[in-house]
Amino acid sequence: MTLAPDAPGRLAIPALIDEATVESIAGEAWIALVGEDEVLVPVPGDLPEDTLSAWVDVVGPWTGSVVLTTGRQTAAELTRALLGDAAPELLDHEDVADAFGEIANVVGGNVKAALPGPSTLGLPEVGAAPTVRNPEDVCRIEVLWRGQPLVVSVQGALPSLPVPHTPHQHPHQNGASQ
């Protein structure tokens, strides 16, 4: 997947990354961070009512968020898996925010690397998922982890795409010679 150098305007995410790439990025993050046997199964499932999201913002030629959403219980289970032996008996919200946020950070960092740059990555945030602004600027995958549904959404932050305009990249040579 390449970005045409003379592409007018801003491209929406489906032109920049596909579901298979996002799935592979998430799958690798899971195996490395959560555990070698922790596969993500590409099967959609219904998210429970009580969900938690973790995301990082990407700002650059494409601007948006990489958002992970799962059930609150599953987020807690993920935290235990990440902490391993270091997991406390009782998890508090800070532990879950830290662990789930860090997974979003790793997935987001790798998504950012697959997008045209230069761009910057924000610090992870945890809470209710940011609203989808433009349904056409979303790349979304649904997977199951330990049988529980999880959604990864790479979604644009702008309300709408600007109308493509004709390129005007002809810098004037206005007498700069010495």
Partner 1 sequence: MKILVADDSRVMRQIVIRTLRQAGYDDHDIVEAEDGRDAYDKVHAENPDLVLSDWNMPNMTGLECLQALRSAGSAVPFGFVTSEGSAEMRDKASAAGALFLIAKPFTEETFRENLDGVIA
Which of 91, 102, 116, 161 binds partner 1 (CB under 8 A)? It is 102
H-helix or E-strand spanning residue 108:
helix 93-114
Which of 5, 118, 147, 171 binds partner 1 (CB under 8 A)? It is 118
Backbone angles phi, psi at 37, to 5 degrees: -95, 5
CB atoms within 10 A of CB 5: 6
Alpha-carbon distance of 165 to 135, in angstroms, equals: 22
Which of 53, 105, 153, 155 binds partner 1 (CB under 8 A)? It is 105
CB atoms within 10 A of CB 50: 9
2 is a contact residue toward partner 1 (CB under 8 A): no
31 is a contact residue toward partner 1 (CB under 8 A): yes
Alpha-carbon distance of 21 to 141, in angstroms, equals: 10
Shortest approach of partner 1 to residue 125 CB, angstroms? Answer: 12
Shortest approach of partner 1 to residue 119 CB, angstroms? Answer: 9
Which of 7, 47, 83, 161 binds partner 1 (CB under 8 A)? It is 83
CB 141 within 8 A of CB 44: no
Listed residue (87, 47, 42, 92) closest to 70, CA to CA: 47
Closer Cβ to partner 1, 23 or 47, answer by number: 23
Closer Cβ to partner 1, 20 or 32, answer by number: 32
Binding site for partner 1 (CB under 8 A): 28-29, 31-33, 79, 82-84, 86, 95, 98-99, 101-102, 105-106, 108-110, 112-113, 117-118, 121, 123-124
